[in-house]
Structure 1
């Protein structure tokens, strides 16, 4: 017998991610990896416009479905059999979506993507309707607004099937903002009881999974290049620099806890929405390293400068976005505040280093970590004294 889906308390102690949520994340990273592979292929073939646009659209679908579930689960996770089954259906939907990524990139055919997204969204609508059945008053109206908003947006995504393939980006331009507006409209009367520490942990765990996928993609790229008899001396600087970038990205993101900043919906929404760029740029670094490896081994159809930009641009974007929405809330004083913005510009400048751009960017990122640790240590010492 299903239990009533009552809202959980925002101040609940020992609220942590569940095994089901971790399983959910792993299924979503399959779609992230699929989009990253297609981005790397398009960039290596010299089609950056097509590759970046397709990546941004597909990553939006994956990120938005993941985010909607994560915030819902933070407020209403009952972990009973019905909740688990509906969540597993969502996971099946993202795997269908991932299967449609190559066709969407190659032929702008979003049929499989649309169907996978439909499965995910209908499951999410069912979760909100179940929550509405157990709620009263303003809380019930919030749940019903979520269910209605998601349904309307899913109808809007029919444009992916009806529009000429050249007009598909315009469907995202119209329906994407509608999706983004649903939470604000749904919670204008009463917000859901999401848990700040739990939400911060969920985003942190997904960041770790995306960074892990970045390392895996780069490792496979190096392995493939070695199998094709590329010189190890040529590949080592790219592999080493890429590894330094990923390690620095981990350190920068987890330098300080952020849950204390998430006190209201306004703060939390801006922080949560900003992670579209955090997750997207982190995954794109892996695609960029793949391209840099192909260029170093002579298999890519682009210049050394363009291959370097495939790594430095998303790496700089990651650092700048993490500072803007995440790290600056824990920084004290102009010196600490300037570390990440300045280092993101220096990472961009590394693009000019040609074959040595990736290791140079990795060293700059590590310098940002070292500077942050040093300034924090000095501040703590001054406070003690």
Structure 2
């Protein structure tokens, strides 16, 4: 049987869900939401690869950071809202689909944002999905008298900032536009903290940990897909496949290690007892962005191997080693360090340094970086088992 959601539910339908609700998992709608959002992530990664391959590293990184924020921030806001409420009725589903449409507008606008520094269409998609998100706080305000202060701050805060995003598009000077962009980003990320001062919302730690874990999986999967396509295209123009095989194997080892270290420990209990939800949630911007840019780096490496990109071997290697090192440091800072003791505490930072040093190897840097990640992963598993066997 298929459960059909009601068009309208009685007043009080959008109620906060219980923090300790059992068997709480991601819904099919949330998974569909993630898969649609990763389309924009993939577009941003491909454009970053093109920019780095053309030697426009600074421009590419700045554009990538801006576009990735436009994807990551609405995704995070939606995930935290859904863990607290999620009525799963038709208005909620329609608002979710509008947000998905906004993310696809952003995805379509990514090439123009990179090529021409034109973020107008990106902002259109962003405002569309943010206004749809804002509408859900109106429902919370209506149905939850005890949460009206929080809902009002969330709803009005998001709405007012969207007005300023629209007004920003009237600014034509690039320097002024960039300053305004940065100011509005800062305003966006302060809204949750400001709204939280009026009342804390319940969140389900196991559900949130699963949501972030699933998005990490999807981003890593997009990385593998991008790298596979790049290597496949490179094999057509390259007769000597040794460097390409080294690149592919090294990238696979890096991604496998990235998956392993992220899911090495259960985060829900730590998130509930010890970690700051703000720090953990915001810090995942670095985790997601670094994970996605590993795939972009693999595209750069494949293009350099065939001679398509006329950049130095070290720059091509750095396109993979730098985001890998950043990913290791981010995962260690957000969660890994809480589960390590003694010498094992330094294992992931040392691995990040070793991966960066591999950049000097040029064409074979990625396979060496993959080997470093594999050795570190093996050492971490061994140390963890020894720690478990040590009597208290």
TM over 0.5: yes
1:2 to 2:17 alignment: no
Q: 1:346 maps to which residue? A: 354
Q: 2:226 maps to which residue? A: 217
Q: 2:141 maps to which residue? A: 132
Q: 1:302 maps to which residue? A: 311
Out of 63, 69, 73, the residue aligned to residue 64 of structure 1 is 73
1:115 to 2:124 alignment: yes
Out of 360, 381, 384, the residue aligned to residue 389 of structure 2 is 381
Contact 1:111 / 1:160 at 8 angstroms: preserved in 2?
A: no
In 1, Cα distance between the equivalents of 2:149 and 2:130?
19
- Secondary structure of 2:130's counterpart equals helix
Contact 2:127 / 2:165 at 8 angstroms: preserved in 1?
A: no
1:207-236 per-residue CA deviation (whole Å, 9 max, x = no partner) reads: 000000000000010111112244322210
Q: 1:13-32 alignment to 2 at 5 Å? A: 13-32=22-41
Q: 1:364 maps to which residue? A: 372
In 1, Cα distance between the equivalents of 2:30 and 2:116?
33
1:92-116 per-residue CA deviation (whole Å, 9 max, x = no partner) reads: 1100111011111111111211111
1:228-260 per-residue CA deviation (whole Å, 9 max, x = no partner) reads: 244322210011101110000000100001111
Contact 1:196 / 1:259 at 8 angstroms: preserved in 2?
A: yes
Q: 371-380 or 167-176: which moved more?
A: 167-176
Measured after TM superposition, the shift of residue 159 of structure 1 is 5.0
Q: 262-271 or 127-136: which moved more?
A: 262-271
Measured after TM superposition, the shift of residue 334 of structure 1 is 1.8
Measured after TM superposition, the shift of residue 165 of structure 1 is 5.5
Measured after TM superposition, the shift of residue 185 of structure 1 is 0.3
- Runs of at least 5 residues in structure 2 that lack an aligned partner in the other structure: 1-6
In 1, Cα distance between the equivalents of 2:164 and 2:275?
26
In 2, Cα distance between the equivalents of 1:287 and 1:13?
39
Aligned residue pair count: 382
Q: In the superposition, relative to structure 1, how do residues 165 and 101 fare at CA in structure 2: closer, same or farther (>3 Å)?
A: farther
In 1, Cα distance between the equivalents of 2:269 and 2:345?
18
- Secondary structure of 2:213's counterpart equals helix
Show structure 1 runs of 4+ deviating over 4 A.
none
Measured after TM superposition, the shift of residue 287 of structure 1 is 0.3
Measured after TM superposition, the shift of residue 166 of structure 1 is 2.1
Measured after TM superposition, the shift of residue 330 of structure 1 is 2.1
In 1, Cα distance between the equivalents of 2:346 and 2:247?
27
Contact 2:231 / 2:248 at 8 angstroms: preserved in 1?
A: yes
In 1, Cα distance between the equivalents of 2:293 and 2:334?
19
In 2, Cα distance between the equivalents of 1:252 and 1:106?
35
Contact 1:110 / 1:160 at 8 angstroms: preserved in 2?
A: no
Q: 319-328 or 263-272: which moved more?
A: 263-272
Q: 1:232-271 alignment to 2 at 5 Å? A: 232-263=241-272, 267-271=276-280
Out of 343, 348, 351, the residue aligned to residue 335 of structure 1 is 343
In 2, Cα distance between the equivalents of 1:320 and 1:159?
38
Q: 1:12-161 alignment to 2 at 5 Å? A: 12-137=21-146, 139-161=147-169
- Runs of at least 5 residues in structure 1 that lack an aligned partner in the other structure: none
In 2, Cα distance between the equivalents of 1:278 and 1:12?
28
